[in-house]
Amino acid sequence: MDEELESVEEWIKKLNIKSTKDVQVPKILFDQVIGQDEAGEVVKKAAIQKRHVLLIGEPGTGKSMLAQSMVDFLPKEELEDILVFPNPEDSNRPKIKTLPAGKGKEVVRQYQIKAEREKKDRSRGVLFLIFSVVFLGLIISIVISNWTILFFAIIAAAILWMALAFNPAMRTERAMIPKLLVSHTPNDKPPFVDSTGAHSGALLGDVRHDPFQSGGLETPAHERVEAGNIHKAHKGVLFIDEINLLRPESQQALLTAMQEKKFPISGQSERSAGAMVQTEPVPCDFILVAAGNLDAIQGMHPALRSRIRGYGYEVYMNSVMDDTDENRRKLVQFIAQEVVKDKKIPHFDTGAIVEVIKEAQRRSGRKGKLTLRLRELGGLVRVAGDIAVSEKADIVTADHVIRAKRLSKPLEQQVADKSIEVKKQYKTFLTEGSAVGTVNGLAVVGANNGLSDFSGIVMPIVAEVTPAIQKGRGEVIATGKLGEIAKEAVQNVSAVFKKISGSSKDITNMDVHIQFVGTYEGVEGDSASVSIATAVISAMENIPVDQSVAMTGSLSVRGQVLPVGGVTAKVEAAIDAGLKKVIVPASNFGDIVLDHAHKDRIEIVPVTTIREVLENALVDCPAKTELLSKMGGPVAEGTKAVMPNKKARAGGNVA
Ligand SMILES: Nc1ncnc2c1ncn2[C@@H]1O[C@H](COP(=O)(O)OP(=O)(O)OP(=O)(O)O)[C@@H](O)[C@H]1O
């Protein structure tokens, strides 16, 4: 951490609070969104101007919160109820009517009252007719003294009753009642409809199947019409996360709906009786807020994207914010919000707040930053709260948060822990002694699964140099399911070891084999290039590598060590594996924020060149001295300048 940055423990004292109970939670959702000031401004503007928005960013950074908060800024327009009526001329083309909010229910009620009245009148008429037939039969029977007439009259009355009661023509009053598709009360806020993951029927509306279809038992077409989310969002906001997962036809239909501001409802399943029905166009004047991560743009229908670009805004969400007083205060507000929202967990005391802020520093993965992956941080808050509840504590303390961090390890970390146990048991990697061509590399898992708190893992890399199969055409062969970037990294690293060993060895007559041991998940990225170079140089020069050392770092073709991601997780993995020293790129040194369980347990060596890596990783011997002197004498000037003092090296950057 930067010297000028105050420790969180010192900082919290100035805040003058005892717990998150003393923190005011803003009433408006918009003010609860933390760290997304630019996105917030754009979204507000879009709401006022009724523009569509594309929110791109990492998961759990507040996209849906921002979309939801837009309804508070939408211009006060009359909300509308939408009704669907039967069409006497064409029963498969129901009619659509809009009415001011609240009026829809009234109209339906009026139709229902009318239908009930008509039904009563009809029942009375039928009863009168039946009674008359029976009465007439009785009179005639008495007059002619023949009771058979009465018997026939009763039978005739029964047939008449059945014919009238079940005659579809007599049930028309029910069939005339309109259906309320979308309803509001006059004081309702504009609607916010989350249509994430909805299939096309739920998004665009549908007409249900009718098993009877005819013969008097069928349900009238208009009664089977169901509003889609685009219609429910009329005069409000329609939010679709992971928009790229929506089928292209649905995206096309969505685009039409946005252009026309109305969209007819028809049966979505071709084989259903609902497919015969199509309503008149149904109003759907909504603001679309589409969201997703960067990949979402690729999966978006180009015309839909262009519509948003042309009639709206595109925003990239922040995934970290600066570690400043103001932003720390916002995080305290966030914890208070999460506690209030959860309703079951107690408030956090200042010690617990400190731990959460430190975790936000750690998860940012960068020096002087705080993470904005707040859904995941909220998860930590809830787990800590649950631990406190299970222990009947009336406040969450630092101890609860520390235990929650251990409990809420991501799956990837749990798998990594298990695999380290196995690797250690079978000695897939060593933690002491020395070995030629063998390096403890470090990698992260989980980064591709959208997790912010990557999990580290020790990734042993071994190298062997053999005479070339084709003389004069030595090859570099790397195995371990390498991704594209990892393959390129191997090529780039070749330049470094060719240069270092080239003058003493005829590299064209050697095949260099590089193996990533036990990497069944595959290797992505170039953060192993420093480890590859060390393993190969050790193998070429026959100089053993200290096995208590782990390393990570990307390497330029000129031998400079460049920064990598997930450095905290990697250092933690080295500590958990029982290693003594970890070599990291100097530019990443400030990013390392170790938690309580890892504090002061390893020597962290920041480096800027491959020469320094070798200096720290290779076992002292005459061959090493010769190699280093060949590489350019003492440590370079720039390196000395960034090397932190001994104390920092031993403890790492502990928050
Ligand atoms: N910027 C933020 N400010 C405050 N709370 C946040 C923020 N971002 C996320 N959260 C918390 O995380 C929860 C989920 O956030 P939200 O659904 O808005 O994320 P998202 O970006 O839409 O994620 P996804 O793309 O995965 O759906 C919120 O309910 C809130 O508790």
Q: What is the CATH number of the domain that holds 478?
A: 3.30.230.10
Is 71 inside any structural domain? no
Residue of the nearest CA to atom 30 in ligand 1?
375
Residues flanking ligand 1, CB < 6 Å? 32-36, 59-65, 241, 291, 334, 338, 372, 374-375, 378
| C-alpha 590 – ligand 1 centre gap (Å) | 28
Higher pLDDT, 264 or 523: 264
| CATH code (residue 197) | 3.40.50.300
Number of folded domains in the chain? Answer: 4
Do residues 334 and 398 both lie within one domain?
Answer: yes
3-class DSSP state of 197: coil
172, 206, 233 - which closes a domain: 172
Compute CA distances 164 → 68, 130, 133, 169, 461, whole Å: 54, 11, 14, 9, 88
Cα-to-chain-centroid distance, residue 498: 44
Element (H, E) at 106: helix 103-144
Residue 546 amino acid letter? D
* Catalytic (active-site) positions: 527, 570
- Over residues 345-364, the mean pLDDT reads 94
Do residues 630 and 542 both lie within one domain?
Answer: yes
Do residues 429 and 402 both lie within one domain?
Answer: no
**Which tokens belong to 129?**
């007719």
Interior angle at CA 480, CA 474 and CA 482, nearest 5: 85
Is 108 inside any structural domain? no
d(CA 454, CA 245): 25
Is 31 inside any structural domain? no
| C-alpha 516 – ligand 1 centre gap (Å) | 37
3-class DSSP state of 581: strand
Higher pLDDT, 121 or 571: 571
Cβ 402 vs Cβ 348: under 8 Å: no
Residue 243 DSSP class? G
What's the pLDDT tens digit per position in 216-268? 557 788 889 999 999 999 999 999 998 888 888 999 999 999 999 999 999 88
Q: Residue 140 sits in which domain range? A: 120-172
Do residues 437 and 585 both lie within one domain?
Answer: yes
Do residues 192 and 151 both lie within one domain?
Answer: no
Q: Which atom of ligand 1 is nearest to the CA of 291?
A: 25
Do residues 378 and 311 both lie within one domain?
Answer: no
Q: Is the reported ipTM for this assembly greater than 0.90?
A: yes
Residue of the nearest CA to atom 18 in ligand 1?
62
Do residues 19 and 125 both lie within one domain?
Answer: no
| C-alpha 581 – ligand 1 centre gap (Å) | 38
Higher pLDDT, 471 or 80: 80
Do residues 159 and 197 both lie within one domain?
Answer: no
What's the pLDDT tens digit per position in 93-117? 999 999 999 999 999 999 988 888 8
Cβ 254 vs Cβ 202: under 8 Å: no
Q: What percent of the chain has pLDDT over 70?
A: 89
Compute CA distances 552 → 163, 439, 649, whole Å: 87, 10, 16
Band of residue 387 on the pLDDT scale cut at 50, 70, 90? very high
C-alpha torsion angle, residues 296, 301, 305, 311 (rounded to 10): -140
- pLDDT, residue 520, reads 66
Band of residue 647 on the pLDDT scale cut at 50, 70, 90? very low
Is 431 inside any structural domain? yes
Do residues 337 and 385 both lie within one domain?
Answer: yes
Cα-to-chain-centroid distance, residue 299: 16
Is 114 inside any structural domain? no
Q: Which of 53, 55, 375, 451 to mutate to test the pocket of ligand 1 (most atoms within 8 A of CB)?
A: 375
Is 253 inside any structural domain? yes
Q: Which atom of ligand 1 is nearest to the CA of 338?
A: 31
Q: Which of 64, 335, 340 to mutate to test the pocket of ligand 1 (most atoms within 8 A of CB)?
A: 64
| C-alpha 59 – ligand 1 centre gap (Å) | 8
Residue of the nearest CA to atom 19 in ligand 1?
60
Do residues 214 and 155 both lie within one domain?
Answer: no
Cβ 327 vs Cβ 320: under 8 Å: no
What is the crossing angle of helices 374-390 and 398-407, to 10°? 110
Do residues 532 and 461 both lie within one domain?
Answer: yes
Residue 556 DSSP class? -
| C-alpha 320 – ligand 1 centre gap (Å) | 13
What sections of 322-373 are H helices per DSSP? 325-342, 350-364
| C-alpha 316 – ligand 1 centre gap (Å) | 14
| CATH code (residue 18) | 1.10.8.60
Residue 618 DSSP class? B
350, 384, 407 - which closes a domain: 407
What's the pLDDT tens digit per position in 325-341? 999 999 999 999 999 99
Q: Which atom of ligand 1 is nearest to the CA of 196?
A: 27
Is 502 inside any structural domain? yes
407, 431, 446 - which closes a domain: 407
Does position 214 have pLDDT exceeding 90, yes or no? Answer: no
Is 630 inside any structural domain? yes
Do residues 356 and 291 both lie within one domain?
Answer: no
Q: Which of 31, 32, 43, 65 to mutate to test the pocket of ligand 1 (most atoms within 8 A of CB)?
A: 65
Q: Which atom of ligand 1 is nearest to the CA of 242?
A: 25
